[in-house]
Structure 1
């Protein structure tokens, strides 16, 4: 009996030791890999911002150098549209939107985001002479299965689209996931967000937009709900509860 107890105790001790070693290895790996993960996340973000600004070809693989040369990240207060003090590198929209003290529930939550951060980061993209050519605005809104995160790049008039780039989504491959298809993204440059009276006019058209329709973009075939989500996301973020106050203050080249 004593021998059996001894054997059982040794087994438990061995299992405990193995678990402890594994836990230590996992913790060590997590700590060691965290800087690499953060660097990769930042590189992906900078890549998407350059794509939204139509600068990927210019970058020619030097993402960090091109980003640092042409892009300036600045914080804004979404309610007023004013620039504010703050470190854009430390800003986390997802974290802020979960904090009731740093976010609010939209009155008209057509994007389905539940809460919206009080602040946001905008990316001012300058040419070689220092003139702002593009403003890249982060966007987030519901797709079919979950929230979709991306960027819309606008020319200095804050109306003409350069690009719409989605960076994070869980849409169905071959359907809603076509938001990352280069052919669909190629339909956006030159489209207008607002009409001549500054009303939101951008729309995704089921069956395809008519030729010459500066506000219409072809909807995603077989993915009506995702298309509706993209349209509502743009209407929310370019509207009064999103970047609307910022756009009203600086439209038509007011940032230069």
Structure 2
């Protein structure tokens, strides 16, 4: 006579299909296998996703630069290359020990993020990375163009953009909105080329050094404004606050001061 089957899997499968124990155990088994597959796929896809994000960012940067009058000539004269540097936002200087290649790993560490109180957090981010990668174009020894990543809260969610500044670190050469969740036909118009083109020539700061840029609630009336979008006041406020934050003392302010002192 055959002894009892000691294989737990065969014993489980031998139970009647209406068995509650079999149903629960099979559900746990299937869930565990699915979780393992999803985790494995996430690990395998992470380098591909990172590469895709980098390629998308480069495409936006190339598009932004090509749309700025005279930039194609400057790129050609300088070899067609933008240099990259990781900035320590606290000091405004090049980060010590963090490079473009190691930036993603550095920002995976919560210690490399700074929480902000409500008075600081104009952009509505909650926390700010301590390190950011920026792009520089030189004409001889001088920086002729600076590309700065921006992010902030709009009406529908997060807005990401790249802003190009002229060598005076105050005049906007262009802007490219790279992602957003604003309402189509209203705030969603921030990704229209015609609206973004209005940023060119806008000045960020006034004579006192204060950041005066804003999206107007109608037609722009000063060198520091761009036209608002009808029906998208809250989106305009979000863009205003995003730019004011990043151009201020808790964003790129210390870095821009360092550039103007000739430290880069």
Query: Taking structure 2 as the reference length, what is the TM-score of the superposition?
Result: 0.76
CA deviation profile, 1:26-84 (whole Å, cap 9, x unmatched): 45544443333222111011122333434699999xxxxxxx95122212222221222
SS class of match (1:171): coil
Asked if 1:171 corresponds to 2:182, the answer is yes
SS class of match (1:132): strand
Match of 1:73 in 2: 84
Match of 2:127 in 1: 115
CA distance in 2, matches of 1:93, 1:148: 23
Distance 1:100 1:20, change over 3 A: closer
Matches within 5 A, 1:1-256: 6-8=15-17, 26-27=38-39, 29-54=41-66, 69-85=80-96, 86-92=98-104, 95=107, 99=110, 102-106=113-117, 107-126=119-138, 131-210=142-221, 213-251=222-260, 254=262
Task: Note if contact 1:93-1:120 (Cα within 8 Å) is conserved in structure 2.
Answer: no
CA RMSD of the aligned region, Å?
3.6
SS class of match (2:110): coil
Question: Residue 17 of structure 1: CA displacement?
Answer: 7.5
Task: Note if contact 1:159-1:251 (Cα within 8 Å) is conserved in structure 2.
Answer: no
Distance 1:16 1:103, change over 3 A: closer
Task: Note if contact 2:107-2:113 (Cα within 8 Å) is conserved in structure 1.
Answer: no
Distance 1:155 1:108, change over 3 A: same
Distance 1:94 1:145, change over 3 A: farther
Task: Note if contact 1:73-1:122 (Cα within 8 Å) is conserved in structure 2.
Answer: yes
Distance 1:51 1:158, change over 3 A: farther
Greater radius of gyration (CA): 2
Distance 1:20 1:152, change over 3 A: same
CA distance in 1, matches of 2:112, 2:236: 32
CA distance in 2, matches of 1:57, 1:189: 10
Question: Residue 15 of structure 1: CA displacement?
Answer: 7.2
Structure 2: unaligned runs, 5 residues or longer? 1-12, 73-78
